[in-house]
Amino acid sequence: MKVAIQFAMPAELHALPGARELAPFETVAGIPFFEPAPGILACAGGVGKVNAAIAAAILCRRFGADLILNAGVAGCCTDLPTGSLVVADTLVQHDVDTTAVGDPIGLVSTVNVTEFPAWQPDECLELLRRQGVSAVKGRVATGDWFAVKGQRASWIADTFHPLLVEMEACAAAQTCLRCGVRFAALKSVSDHLFSDRQAEEYFDFGAALEKLGRVVLPFAQALSALD
């Protein structure tokens, strides 16, 4: 199985061992693409839903990925410790709202779903466990908003009940759904939405990046060995 790791920020990509020394093998639509291990692709496609969808579409259509692994840091709605790893089981887009025309909140038109499933989350947890890595699974809520403590964050938590909130994963999941490509997400907790120290946590997420960087490439290689 051809696996591509999709990050948003270069800092997330650079957490991979040796990634800073890698030269891109091709640049498409302004996005450099790398091969951090034989048969494994990687890119940092940019922050936000549109950037994520563009990068995912290129990985699917130009480079023929069989599975996209969206990886990065994310804000947490609970008290999971910083650096905790989360495998997405379902994903939603919290900023999609066509309720004015009678749709349920979060319904994404064209594909007409409110909840996007991730590929085999229990199998992903088992692969991590075999590598000696502890992780949990949970829902990821995506939207073009940097989530901070306040009424909007509370509404997202009460409406969609996510474990994590971030800005890319579900857009990539939507792209994969339309392209017929498998999708998985592995996130590292960088900050806590309802903490008074959230900003301080986010701008000091080195521990979260380090944990992710150690795990994500071996995890991608384990996925690539599957049928």
Q: What angle do CA 221, 41, 6 make, to 5 degrees?
A: 95
Left (φ > 0), alpha (ψ -120 to 50) or beta: where does 64 sit?
Answer: left
Can you tell me whether residue 139 is helix, strand or coil?
Answer: strand
Active site residue 12: yes
Active site residue 191: yes
Question: Tokens representing 181?
Answer: 């490509």
Give the span between the Cα atoms of 84 and 130, in whole angstroms. Answer: 17
Please pick, among 89, 166, 191, 201, the residue that the annotation labels catalytic.
191
Give the span between the Cα atoms of 206 and 218, in whole angstroms. Answer: 20
Give the phi and the psi of residue 93 in degrees, each rounded to 5: -115, 105
Q: Which residues are catalytic?
A: 12, 191
